[in-house]
Amino acid sequence: MIEIDAVTLIPLREEVNINAKIFKGRRPTVFHVTHHKAGSQWVAEVLKHAAGSRFVKPQLNVGHVCDQPIRLGRIYPTVYLPRERLDQYLKPMQTGRDSSPPSLKTYHRLLRTMLSFQTMRSPVIRFVVIRDLRDTLISLYYSSRYSHPLLKERVAKRRELLKGLEKEDALIYLIQGALKRQAHLQMSWIESTRDFLLVRYEDLLANEFDMFRKIIDYCEMPVSSERLYEIVNGNSFENFTGRKRGDEDVYSHQRKGIAGDWRNHFTDRIKKIFKQKWGEVLIKTGYEQDLNW
């Protein structure tokens, strides 16, 4: 082994041998790609119980993907990354002309990931969960204003700012700012090669078992229908919260559990600004055919 500036580099031949030893079968490496406020924790809980030891515990800022070598055959939940960012970690040697050179430690991590996938030919499966951006906005408002843990300084600052605004002004503030991240993530996948399963949060709400069955089968996870039913039922909105869908608790992460709630909050002013800013995203993601809504 070679040590440079306190970073231990494993020679390539030894690296390949290490990966060969830890690789057990050609199970796919699965990525649950999504954005915030699209049922990400709900889906992650189902995956955790279905995947067992293959489940990778999520970390803040997607650290379980961005800060560590990808582990073959594992299930990665809550990957809040646009297409181009995730591709950087799955194809680490394909860097853009404008990208900054990685640090030695980062380069070594990316090299390990590349060797894992190229040497072992491990298949990669991705499914992408999106939500109507209008409902995403409403959920983002209530989460930012009331329920989200203050794990980051920017979250705490946003809460204080929202407290001083009327709801209409607060929603417009989010439309013009924080919602950009969710919109960009959606478009980065919608406009890319469709080599993934696209799942709509609304379809999960409408038919939980069948949609999770579709996800589990697509990800080639060996879970019986009986076991999956237990998992899905145990993590349903009603069983998890003790409330019926539509019964609201603004201080709960699982606030309401319905689709189309934006209609209860959008004023004409909000509609106009939303259409100007993100109307085309609704069309491209299939939630509207035009701007006449």
Residue 75 lies in a domain: yes
**92 and 18 within one domain:** yes
Residue 70 lies in a domain: yes
Q: Indicate the DSSP class of residue 99.
A: P
**89 and 50 within one domain:** yes
Containing 165, the helix (H) or strand (E) segment is none
**CATH number of domain containing 7:** 3.40.50
3-state secondary structure of 253: coil
- CA–CA separation, 79 vs 157, rounded Å? 24
Residue 254 lies in a domain: no
- CA–CA separation, 202 vs 286, rounded Å? 12
**66 and 158 within one domain:** no
The residue range of the domain holding 167 is: 133-192+260-293
Residue 253 lies in a domain: no
Residue with the two structure tokens 């993934």: 196
- Within the chain, strands assigned E span 2-4, 7-9, 29-34, 75-79, 124-130, 197-200
The tens-digit pLDDT sequence of the chain (293 residues) is 444 344 334 343 333 343 444 444 579 999 999 999 999 999 999 999 999 999 999 999 999 999 988 898 999 999 999 999 999 888 753 444 444 555 555 666 666 666 656 555 668 999 999 999 999 999 999 988 987 777 677 788 888 899 999 999 999 999 999 999 999 999 999 999 999 999 999 999 999 999 999 999 999 999 999 999 999 999 987 876 766 776 665 655 666 778 999 999 999 999 999 999 999 999 999 999 999 99
**237 and 109 within one domain:** yes
**203 and 78 within one domain:** yes
Containing 183, the helix (H) or strand (E) segment is helix 179-190
- Nearest 5°: the CA angle 116, 118, 119 is 70
**95 and 137 within one domain:** no
Quote the pTM value.
Answer: 0.82
**60 and 19 within one domain:** yes
Q: How many domains does the chain have?
A: 2
